[in-house]
Amino acid sequence: MSRDPVDRLELSVGAAFVTTIVAGAALAVVYWRGGQTQLEGILLAVALAGLSVGIGLWAKHAMPGGEAVEEREPLRSSDEDRAEAISGFEEGEVVLGRRTMLLRLLGLGTATVGAALLFPVRSLGPRPNGDLSHTRWRKGRRLVRADGTPVRPVDLDVDGVVTVFPDGPDRSPGDSQTILIKLPAGVNQPRPGREDWVQSGCIAYSKICTHAGCPVGLYEADTHRLVCPCHQSLFDVVDGARPSFGPATRSLPQLPLDVDPQGYLVARSDYTEPVGPAWWGRS
């Protein structure tokens, strides 16, 4: 027995939405089990295609279209028209039930595809948590050069400069890179609470500019200022690395120093404030 055209249309629309749901669910399974780029692309294309076909068929064939003109007189329909309308409403209850099911399938299919759009968030990697506010400096970690050689105060000449990192397997030239300078005696003007952060004239600041994150590696010995080569911010080394020129508005964080029993420079702690640009909503 042949099906009514409306029945065939609703079956086609429902089949398209079910295809979207199945493809979206399969995409989620493939991604969760490790992912396969080509298969994920195919499944996403099938899911979107099913959604497009279903909506297109529904809009083109199931929704009223064209112009309709209804005569206003006589206002009361004939008995035959009234009977036909009542019959139509009764049949419409069945159609409405089917359309409700199609709406639910459409909603579920759309939700499936929408969930697939959130999958890439998981591929961004682990949450940083508090890593953005801390570096790899810890109490007692030695200051070492890029080749791993530890540094003693006597290894630096006055106005000597060296880039140092925290000793250990997780040594990184990223947010932990620090500029170590040996100042002449009597020129440093420590901020309150930082009187013992300098050892034998050796003072250490974060090498990451507080403006845009460039490496601050140029030192003017005659003026005791660090220069950022990117935007020419100047930092007064003897005054807590206060910015004295350029776009930077925040001082370079200072690393508190100590000396271990072997005479090597070590960190007293991590930086007491976050390193890097000041536009992360910091106070």
Locate 57 and state its tokens: 């068929």
Express each pLDDT in 83-92 by its tens digit: 777 676 655 5
Same domain, 92 and 183: no
Q: Are 148 and 107 in contact (CB under 8 A)?
A: no
Same domain, 179 and 80: no
The count of other CB atoms within 10 Å of the CB of residue 98 is: 16
Q: Report residue 51's pLDDT band, with 50, 70 and 90 as the boundaries.
A: confident
Q: Is the pLDDT of residue 155 over 80?
A: yes
**Which domain, by its residues, includes 53?**
5-64+71-122
Express each pLDDT in 68-108 by its tens digit: 777 666 666 777 777 777 676 655 555 555 667 777 777 77
Locate 58 and state its tokens: 């529904």
Q: Is the pLDDT of residue 252 over 70?
A: yes
Domain total of the chain: 2
Bridge partners (DSSP) of residue 225 are 220, 236
Mean pLDDT of 254-278: 91
The alpha helices in the chain, defined as continuous H runs, are 5-32, 37-57, 79-122
127 inside domain? no
Q: Which among 253, 262, 274, 235 has a CA at the least distance from the CA of 178?
A: 253
Same domain, 92 and 141: no
Same domain, 232 and 269: yes
148 inside domain? yes
The residue ranking higher by pLDDT, 100 or 264, is 264
Predicted confidence at residue 68, as pLDDT, reads 72
pTM (2 decimals)?
Answer: 0.57
